[in-house]
C-alpha cells in the first residue's frame, strides 16, 4: 500500500493529473494510487495559496481564473492562511476552534505559528512552496516526498499527525480535544458540552471518546430493550413463555399475545374461554327471531318458533287479550335488577346493565367493577408511570421530570432555571435530563466532594 501511495504522489507531482491510466492490476492498489494522487494534488495547490497569502495579503489570483478546481483550492488555503496570520497579529491562540474543516485548520495553525516565529510576515522569509507545485519534467530518479514524511509511524503525536512541510501538526480523533502540550489528546464530555443527541426520556452517559443514551424508564410489559436503546416487542409464542392451552394456537401481538382456538365451531355455536363449543341461545338475542305472536324455543345449534301457548318463554308474557307474547320490561319500577347506582337497559326478552365509563359489569357479583387501565394497556397510556384511579387513571413522572401539556408524556425540568433554592452551584449550573451538574472555572479549580462548590485544584 505504501508503494502504491508513493506512485500516486509521484503522478500528482510530475503530471498534475490523476486521470491517467494506472499500471497496477490490483484494484486495491489503483484505489490507493488515485486517493493519494488527489491528496497530493490538493496539497500542491494549497501550497500556492499559502504563498499567495504570504506575499500580497490578498487571495486574488493573478490569472483571475476563479472557476477551475485549482483556483478553488488555492483560494481556500489562502483564506485559511490569512485567518491564521490575523489570529497571530491579534495575539490570539493558534489552536483553532472554528468549525472550518480539518485541512483549513492545519493551514490556519501553520501560518499562525510561522507568524509567531518571524514576528512580521516578510514575503522573503516564507518558504516558496510554489516551487513544489511547478510541473517538473519526468526524471528517472526523483526523491519521493512521502518517504520524508515526519508523521510516518505516528510521529510525536498521540492520535493524528500532519506534516505541513514547515512543522508537524497534531490533531485528535472525534470525541477528543488537543491538550496544552500540543501532542496529547483528552476525552470530551459531550454530556456537559451539549454535543450529544439524547432525546426526551433518555439520559446522556459519557464514555471515552464518545457517549451513549440510556432510557430513563423501562420498555413495559411485553417489550425488551435492544443494544441500540430501542424497545423491541417480545414474541411470546416463539420464546415459549405464553400460557395457551393445548387446544389453542398462540398468536403474537405488539406487547402481548392471544390464544386462537384450533377447533372451529359449527353454525349456532360459540367458543368459550376453554375452547369448547357451546350452544347460542338465539331466543335471547337482541332482535327477536320469531314473528309477533310466536314463542321462540331454543334448540341445539338452532331454534324453533311456536305459536301462542299459555306459557311464554323467558322474558315474555301474554298480553292482556291472551293472544300473543310480549316482552317483559325488567327495568320498569319498582324492580331494580342491576342494583343501586347502575342503569338498566331493557331488550326483547332480556335486559342489560350499564356502568359508568371506566367500569365494567361483573355478572357474578352484579356490580360495576373499576377497570385498571394501567394493567390492561401496559406502557401505552403514560410515558413514565401510570397510576390507576377509580374509573380512570393518571400519569406521573420520574424525579427530575414533569408532565407535558398532553398530561401523558414527561419533559425534563430545567433545575438551573428554577428560583433560588432549586439548585446550589457556586460557579455554573448545567442542566442534564432529570438532574443538573455543577462545573468550575477551567483553570485552577475543581469540584469539591459535595459536587456543587468549587475549590482550588
> 43, 117, 61, 35: which is closest to 84 by C-alpha?
117
Domain closes at, from 90, 121, 148: 148
211, 216, 221, 227: CA torsion to nearest 10:
0
Among all chains, which residue has been given the C-alpha cell 480535544? 177
320 lies in some domain: no
Q: Are 427 and 412 in contact (CB under 8 A)?
A: no
Total structural domains within the chain: 2
Confirm whether 44 is domain-assigned. yes
Tens of pLDDT, residue by residue over 353-364, are 788 788 887 778
pLDDT per residue of the chain (457 residues) written in tens, 0 to 9: 778 887 777 777 777 777 767 666 677 887 887 888 877 777 777 877 788 777 777 787 655 444 566 777 788 888 888 888 888 788 777 765 554 566 677 778 778 777 665 544 333 333 333 333 333 344 444 444 444 567 766 678 887 888 887 888 888 888 888 898 888 899 889 898 888 888 777 888 888 888 888 777 777 788 887 777 778 889 989 888 888 888 788 889 998 998 887 777 888 888 777 777 888 888 887 677 888 777 888 888 888 888 755 567 888 888 877 777 888 888 888 877 776 557 788 898 888 878 878 888 777 877 788 888 888 888 888 888 889 988 888 898 888 888 888 888 888 888 888 776 556 787 888 888 888 888 888 888 888 888 888 887 6
Task: Single out the residue of 251, 257, 327, 317 nearest to residue 288, CA to CA.
Answer: 327
Q: What range defines the domain where residue 435 resides?
A: 415-456
Helix (H) or strand (E) holding 359: strand 359-362
Residues with Cβ within 8 Å of 30's Cβ and at least 6 positions away in sequence, in order, are 4, 22, 24
**CB neighbour list of residue 179: distance below 8 Å, 6 or more residues apart:** 185, 186
Phi first, then psi: what are they for 4, rounded to 5°? -65, -40
What letters, b where the CB count within 10 A reaches 16 and e where it falls short, cover 129-162? beebbeeeeeeeeeeebbeebebeeebebbebbb
**Of 148, 177, 200, which residue is a domain's last?**
148
Domain-embedded: residue 340:
no
CATH number of the CATH domain containing 440: 2.10.25.10
Is 16 contained in some domain? yes
* DSSP bridge partners of 299: 302
The residues near 391 (Cβ < 8 Å, ≥ 6 apart) are 356, 357, 358, 359, 370, 371
* Sequence-ordered list of residues with C-beta below 8 angstroms from that of 403, at least 6 positions apart, any chain: 395, 396, 397, 409, 410, 411
* Domain annotation covers residue 54: yes
H-state helical runs in 265-304? none
Residue-level length of the chain: 457
Residue 290: inside a domain: no
pLDDT score recorded for residue 142? 42
Domain-ending residue, one of 111, 133, 148: 148
Reduced to 3 states (helix: H, G, I; strand: E, B; else coil), residue 380 is coil
Tell me which residue has cell 387501565: 373
Pairing label, strands 168-171, 302-307: unpaired
pTM, two decimals, is 0.27
**Helix, strand, or coil (residue 303):** strand
Q: Cell digits for 346?
A: 331493557
Alpha carbon distance 134, 154 (integer Å) = 29
User: pLDDT tens-digit profile of 78-95?
Assistant: 888 888 888 878 877 776
Across the strands, what pairs with 326?
317
Q: Does residue 64 fall inside a structural domain?
A: yes
In a domain, 327, yes or no: no
- Judged by DSSP in three states, 152 sits in helix
Amino acid at each position: 500500500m505504501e508503494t502504491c501511495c508513493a506512485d500516486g504522489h509521484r503522478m500528482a507531482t510530475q503530471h498534475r493529473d490523476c486521470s491517467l491510466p494506472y499500471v497496477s492490476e490490483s484494484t486495491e492498489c489503483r484505489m490507493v494510487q488515485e486517493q493519494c494522487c488527489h491528496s497530493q494534488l490538493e496539497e500542491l495547490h494549497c501550497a500556492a495559496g499559502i504563498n499567495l497569502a504570504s506575499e500580497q495579503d490578498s487571495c486574488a489570483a493573478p490569472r483571475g481564473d476563479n472557476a477551475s478546481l485549482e483556483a478553488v483550492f488555492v483560494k481556500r488555503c489562502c483564506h485559511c492562511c490569512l485567518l491564521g496570520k490575523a489570529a497571530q497579529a491579534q495575539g490570539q491562540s493558534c489552536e483553532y476552534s472554528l468549525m472550518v474543516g480539518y485541512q483549513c485548520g492545519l493551514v490556519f495553525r501553520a501560518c499562525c505559528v510561522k507568524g509567531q516565529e518571524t514576528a512580521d510576515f516578510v514575503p522573503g522569509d516564507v518558504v516558496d512552496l510554489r516551487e513544489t507545485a511547478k510541473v517538473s519534467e519526468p526524471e528517472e530518479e526523483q526523491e519521493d516526498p512521502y518517504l520524508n514524511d515526519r508523521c510516518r509511524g505516528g510521529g510525536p503525536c498521540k492520535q493524528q499527525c500532519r506534516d505541513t512541510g514547515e512543522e508537524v501538526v497534531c490533531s485528535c480523533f472525534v470525541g477528543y480535544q488537543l491538550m496544552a502540550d500540543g501532542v496529547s489528546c483528552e476525552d470530551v464530555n459531550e454530556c456537559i458540552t451539549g454535543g450529544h443527541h439524547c432525546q426526551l426520556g433518555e439520559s446522556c452517559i459519557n464514555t471515552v471518546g464518545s457517549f451513549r443514551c440510556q432510557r430513563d424508564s423501562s420498555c413495559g410489559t411485553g417489550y425488551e430493550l435492544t443494544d441500540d436503546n430501542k424497545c423491541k416487542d417480545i414474541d411470546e409464542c416463539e420464546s415459549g413463555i405464553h400460557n395457551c392451552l393445548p387446544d389453542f394456537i398462540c398468536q403474537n401481538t405488539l406487547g402481548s399475545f392471544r390464544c386462537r382456538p384450533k377447533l372451529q365451531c359449527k353454525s349456532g355455536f360459540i367458543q368459550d374461554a376453554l375452547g369448547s363449543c357451546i350452544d347460542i341461545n338465539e331466543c335471547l338475542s337482541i332482535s327477536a327471531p320469531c314473528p309477533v305472536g310466536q314463542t321462540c324455543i331454543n334448540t341445539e345449534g338452532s331454534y324453533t318458533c311456536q305459536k301462542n301457548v299459555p306459557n311464554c318463554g323467558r322474558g315474555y308474557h301474554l298480553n292482556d287479550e291472551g293472544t300473543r307474547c310480549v316482552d317483559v320490561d325488567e327495568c320498569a319500577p319498582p324492580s331494580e335488577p342491576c342494583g343501586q347506582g347502575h342503569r338498566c337497559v331493557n331488550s326483547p326478552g332480556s335486559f342489560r346493565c350499564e356502568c359508568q365509563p371506566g367500569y365494567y359489569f361483573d355478572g357474578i357479583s352484579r356490580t360495576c367493577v373499576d377497570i385498571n387501565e394501567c394493567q390492561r394497556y401496559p406502557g401505552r397510556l403514560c410515558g413514565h408511570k401510570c397510576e390507576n384511579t377509580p374509573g380512570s387513571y393518571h400519569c406521573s413522572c420520574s424525579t427530575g421530570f414533569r408532565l407535558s401539556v398532553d398530561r401523558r408524556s414527561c419533559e425534563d425540568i430545567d433545575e438551573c432555571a428554577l428560583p433560588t433554592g432549586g439548585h446550589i452551584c457556586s460557579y455554573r449550573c448545567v442542566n442534564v435530563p432529570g438532574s443538573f451538574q455543577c462545573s468550575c472555572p477551567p483553570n485552577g479549580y475543581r469540584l469539591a466532594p459535595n459536587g456543587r462548590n468549587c475549590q482550588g485544584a
